Structure 1
Amino acid sequence: MPRKPRFFVPHIANHVIQRGNNRQAVFFEEEDYQTYKNYLYEAAESSGVKIHAYVLMTNHIHILATAETTDGISLMMQKTGRFYVPYINYKYERSGTLWEGRFKSSLVDSDFYVLACMRYIEMNPVRANMVESPHAYKWSSYHKNALDNHDRLITSHDSYLGLARTKKQRLSSYTNLFNEHLDEKVLKDIRNCAQTGTPLGSSRFIEQIEKNLKVKVGYSKRGRPWNVVNQD
């Protein structure tokens, strides 16, 4: 079976998901989470990638990032894995693959779509019933985006900056977004797009991507405005 294509366009956000092999754990103790963050930061810096949101779950990760080049996201993930996998194998005296094949990804339209994807990512631990609120989970970008705690991984997306003129107002506006649950259809569309590689956005956005890449992407049937199985 041929691999599903992945689409990358410079300066457009991308939702990246990578899972542990056979859904097994990829983080085992706090040192592992921090080590992964360190490697990810170095890889993002050297690959020209800006990270806007992330969550490190026990057996998978989510990242929302924008690259300066077409291959930036792939380079970032390759470089991170090149250091993190040997670190885990050596530390826990294991061998073999750690991740479940290639990472999955989908381009994300700006404004509502980017902000919805950020909320989706940072609410992962809540949906997984690990914590009752996103601020109670240590390994996510919520602490930077909502609480302004230092996190060198994060570079604010323009959609986030557009929430308000001042930092205080932005933090308040962003936090208020979490007072309402994401619509079930929105959740389904974010999951579907990441799973299938379909760009997440309006029909116009997808048409622009197709024009840019000179290839058809996604589904033949276009919805409104959320285009389109199911996993966090």
Structure 2
Amino acid sequence: MPRKARVVLPNCPHHIVQRGHNRQAVFADPSDFERYLADLRELKDAFGIKVHAFCLMTNHVHLLLAPPEDSAALAQLMKRLAGRMTRYRNRIERRTGTLWEGRYKSSAVQTDAYLLACCRYIELNPVRAGMVARPAEYFWSSYRLRMLGRHEDNWLERAAFFDDLAHSDEERSRAYRAFVDQGIPTDQLQLIRNALQRGQLTGSGDFIREVEQSSGLRIETRGRGRPRRNS
């Protein structure tokens, strides 16, 4: 049976999950996490990819990436990232073979309605997993970078959704911290998970119809709804 075509949209954020092969650990040491993030920071510039959020868990990664007009750059970046990490771990462990599952999961995200919600979903992964009590305690997600505001060490994309939260960096950080601390409503959590698992779009009905018209693809939809920022 042929694999379902992946929907990749230029200049649109995509929620991506890539897991270790047979759910094996991908990151065993702090240096592994640091290596992956250094590669991501380098390759995002090489391929013109915008990074909105990330979270590196022990055996998988969550990324929120937007490709340029050439949407093929997204797959190229993911292939290069995976290849570098595989060679790195194989060299250290003196082994051969694959490190990752064969195909990563992805879902195009409607920017105005869902980008903020997906950032929160990604950065709360360590909290949901019981690894930390608060997202700021986890070193390998974008949450700590985001709280730096316009600091030179913050290499995340400066998106309009974050600027719209308040009038200053300090106020934006407080607003986003409060938004994250609210947690994720159950229906929103399930919607984001389902869209990712099924390769659907994370967005409203209008967004999905627009993508169908522009791409010529028939996109299966289930249980859509616009997330609320104050819920």
TM-score (norm 2): 0.92
The corresponding residue for 1:32 is 32
The corresponding residue for 1:160 is 162
CA shift in 2, pair 1:217/1:46, >3 Å: same
Distance 2:100 2:138 in 1: 23
Distance 2:226 2:37 in 1: 34
How many residue pairs match? The answer is 225
Q: Deviations over 1:182-217 (max 9, x none)?
A: 111111111111111101010001011111211111
Identity %: 38
SS at 1:18 equivalent:
strand
The corresponding residue for 1:63 is 63
- Aligned residue among 181, 188, 197 for 1:195: 197
Q: Deviations over 1:99-152 (max 9, x none)?
A: 011111000012341111000000000000001110110000000113447645
Distance 1:67 1:188 in 2: 25
Distance 1:222 1:89 in 2: 42
SS at 2:82 equivalent:
helix
Q: Deviations over 1:56-107 (max 9, x none)?
A: 0000000111111211211110111221110110111121110011111000
Where has structure 1 moved over 2 Å in runs of 4 or more? 146-153, 221-226
Distance 1:65 1:8 in 2: 11
Distance 1:36 1:162 in 2: 30
Q: Deviations over 1:28-59 (max 9, x none)?
A: 10000000111112221111101010000000
1:214 maps onto 2:216 in alignment = yes
The answer to whether the Cα contact below 8 Å between 2:113 and 2:203 also exists between their aligned partners in 1 is no
The answer to whether the Cα contact below 8 Å between 2:191 and 2:223 also exists between their aligned partners in 1 is no
CA shift in 2, pair 1:201/1:22, >3 Å: same
TM-score (norm 1): 0.91
Please, what is the CA RMSD of the aligned residues? 1.6
